[in-house]
Amino acid sequence: MAAAARMDLDGNPILPMTICMIGAGGFIGSHLCEKLMAETPHTVLAVDVYSDKIKHLLDPPSAEGQQARHPWDGRIQFHRLNIKHDSRLEGLIKMSDLTINLAAICTPADYNTRPLDTIYSNFIDALPVVRYCSENNKRLIHFSTCEVYGKTIGSFLPKDHPLRKEPEFYVLKEDASPCIFGSIEKQRWSYACAKQLIERLIYAEGAENGLEFTIVRPFNWIGPRMDFIPGIDGPSEGVPRVLACFSNNLLRREPLKLVDGGQSQRTFVYIKDAIEAVLLMIENPARANGHIFNVGNPNNEVTVKQLAEIMTQVYSKVSGEAPLEMPTLDVSSKEFYGEGYDDSDKRIPDMTIINKQLGWNPKTSLWDLLESTLTYQHRTYAEAIRRAMAKPVASS
């Protein structure tokens, strides 16, 4: 008996499509590829310079004595290319119904130490993708960042001002909140500014040339396969995002470093919840086109200090190791990130638009997403140590 046709949110059948996914080999891309292979009939042209995190989707499964095949065999193709300088990119976009751009430099330490690379990667390198989609009438889903909001209005009020507790002074709304950055010498804002400018360009392409687009603003997506061990499962240089920093400290039995006391507030959402939202955008273009969507979980709001405390508890449960006697260490932002660092006080997403358009709400609690992530990281780290110890030592 034939499988029932999959329907969109308006009751229309979902037709198979070809998706050009730029940055498919990264954390988000790997989970999105998995979802598309397991649950849809769509084909993915996976574009990246690395394929380690989607290797399990590309390589044939091992089966004794016979040629095994994945159920999605032939529906995912890996194209190793750098979008900065490869003429093949336009051809892949032309072959596709939809392009998803995940490519970015998004490591906070780089915003200070590599501001030019940060601006080029997040604005200049994205320009051809937008142009090719617009010129060839192809739909685009572009991944931006919650950092485009910058600082909250409330952060400019005195610390004890009662209005700081009012939601309109800190909850971030796609269609209403201003984007407030620090001064030019605070190079930490190079990333947010580049991301905001490419958003404005995409929006202008939609207004003037009819580009069909959706912009995604992720709020700290967390889960297995996020980069967390410098030189092993991530870049060998630089300082990663807060949860990856804390994971690395826990794995190495080091105190978790709290920048300026860890008073900044953040929300965290589980990668599998977030990918559900992206699939809704992919398969409901009539509801997603022309919109900017916050994708986060306002129920999982904590200070960075509270995050450190919870992660210490979760890791102790996962690893069976007792926490350190002094689990945290206070450091200044200048000491940790260098000159020119600045930060936003809160990043709490308003969920009205995504809930209205796509009916999406996140489900996973902070404890559960941390347990899933740290279990994976603990296992991966142990395997990396075993491999390193098993390598033969060269004789002198």
Give the residue numbers annotated as catalytic, written as ranges: 191
99/140 Cα distance (integer angstroms): 5
Decide if 302 contacts 266 (C-beta within 8 A).
Answer: yes
Q: What are the C-alpha distances in Å from 186 to residues 157, 181, 182, 294, 375?
A: 20, 9, 6, 25, 37
Burial 70-105 (b: 16+ CB within 10 A, else e): bebeebbebbebebeeeeebbebbeebbbbbbbbbb
For helices 190-209 and 127-135, angle between their N-to-C axes, nearest 10 degrees: 10
DSSP string, 76-94: EEEEE--TTS-THHHHHHH
Among candidate residues 215, 226, 216, 219, the one with its CA nearest the CA of residue 269: 219
The residues pairing with 21 across neighbouring beta strands, listed in sequence order, are: 46, 100
Question: What is the C-alpha R_g of the chain?
Answer: 22
**Rounded CA gap, 256 and 247, in Å?**
9
**Cα separation of 81 and 336, whole Å?**
34
Q: Which residues contact 150 (CB under 8 A, 6 or more apart)?
A: 179, 180, 181, 182, 189, 192, 344
Q: With contact defined as beta carbons under 8 Å apart, do 149 and 191 qualify? A: no
Cα 159 from Cα 5, distance rounded (Å): 55
Buried b / exposed e across 363-396, counting CB within 10 Å, b at 16+? ebebeebbbbbbbbbbebbeeeeeeeeeeeeeee
Whether 291 and 357 have beta carbons less than 8 Å apart is answered as: yes
Of 48, 51, 55, give the one whose Cα is nearest residue 103.
Answer: 48
